[in-house]
Amino acid sequence: MDLRRFGKEKRLSWYYQQTFRRNDWVVLVGMVVLVLLEVVLIRVTDGRFWWPI
């Protein structure tokens, strides 16, 4: 029952909407960049096999 925080907020749930902070945006943009990089590398190398240098 501690997680539900009865009486602490106006709603009964422990979750409430929060705005994104700077670190959230950094992680989100970083993940999008990594996914786009992976797609580009798959297109350039014509496959998914990784050749270590």
Burial class (CB in 10 A: 0-12, 13-18, 19+), 5: middle
pTM of the model: 0.59
Between 30 and 47, whose confidence is greater?
A: 30
Distance CA 5, CA 12 (A): 7
List pLDDT tens digits, range 2-38. 555 555 656 655 566 778 999 999 999 999 999 999 8
Alpha helices in 1-53 (DSSP H): 22-45
